[in-house]
């Protein structure tokens, strides 16, 4: 965890004109689409670096599949985890589990994967390029066949999104949606059509560094 105040960072979502608020609206549309496409029955969801879970909770609060959802939200900041837990309770979402811990560790997803929807929002802009590719390599163990991985990554220079989509394709994922170049933020959705892998315990998928620190180190993320 970086020295950034990630709890205060979420206040930007309250400004409807901010890039984060605009990105949130796109992410929520893709979550709705994924839920609308799910067959009848239970729906498993995992969220990596879930924050306050405004993306998922904002959709589930009114979605007709809300009672079918079992979700595990993994977040290191206990204040954000508390906000997510309180939000789930306020919306009457009994199937939401919030885990306070390092979302990079595979152990936190045991018993909840493969999931129909995997959220990796706010992750890829805060880790090295090598760790992005490494994390994508773990997603076939987290995502169910025909499930969806929804992710975010800025589209400013250097725009890594085309390479990121290639990495997904190499791991058996098909592109379903991606925002156009030239926007400040990127949102993508990939459907898994490859060969599932078992989840290996005790592995670290990435190291969360933070965008500002990455810029200082000259390691992308800017």
Local structure of 29: helix, strand or coil: helix
Give the span between the Cα atoms of 150 and 188, in whole angstroms.
6
CA distance readout (Å), 27 to 47, 68, 206, 217: 13, 20, 22, 29
pLDDT at 2: 55
Nearest to 25 by CA among 96, 46, 17, 86: 17
pLDDT for 191-201, tens place per residue? 999 999 999 99
pLDDT at 11: 63
Instruction: With beta carbons less than 8 A apart as the criterion, state whether 146 and 192 touch.
Output: yes
First and final C-alpha spacing in the chain: 18
Domains of the chain: 6-217 (3.40.50.150)
**Number of other CB atoms surrounding residue 62 within 10 Å:** 9
pLDDT at 113: 98
Nearest to 123 by CA among 147, 153, 97, 150: 153
pTM above 0.85, yes or no: yes
Lowest-confidence segment of 15-29, 41-55, 130-144 by average pLDDT:
15-29
pLDDT for 111-122, tens place per residue? 999 999 999 999
Instruction: With beta carbons less than 8 A apart as the criterion, state whether 219 and 128 touch.
Output: yes
């Amino acid at each position: 965890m970086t020295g950034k105040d990630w709890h205060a960072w979420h206040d930007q979502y309250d400004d409807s004109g901010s890039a984060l608020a605009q990105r949130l609206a796109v992410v929520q549309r893709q979550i709705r689409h994924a839920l609308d496409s799910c067959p009848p029955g239970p729906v498993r969801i995992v969220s990596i670096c879930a924050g306050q879970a405004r993306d998922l909770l904002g959709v589930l609060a009114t979605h007709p599949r809300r009672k079918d959802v079992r979700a595990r939200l993994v977040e290191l900041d206990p204040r954000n985890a508390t906000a997510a837990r309180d939000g789930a309770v306020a919306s009457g979402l009994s199937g939401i589990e919030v885990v306070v811990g390092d979302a990079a560790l595979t152990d936190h997803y045991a018993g909840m994967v493969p999931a129909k929807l995997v959220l990796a929002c706010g992750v890829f802009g805060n880790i090295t390029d090598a760790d992005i590719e490494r994390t994508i390599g773990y997603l076939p163990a987290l995502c169910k066949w025909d499930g969806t991985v929804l992710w975010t990554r800025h589209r400013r220079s250097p725009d890594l999104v085309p390479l990121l989509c290639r990495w997904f394709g190499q791991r058996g994922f098909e592109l379903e949606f991606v925002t156009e170049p030239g926007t400040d933020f990127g949102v993508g959705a990939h459907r898994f059509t490859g060969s599932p892998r078992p989840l290996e315990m005790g592995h670290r998928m990435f190291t969360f560094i933070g965008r500002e620190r990455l810029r200082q180190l000259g390691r992308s993320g800017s």
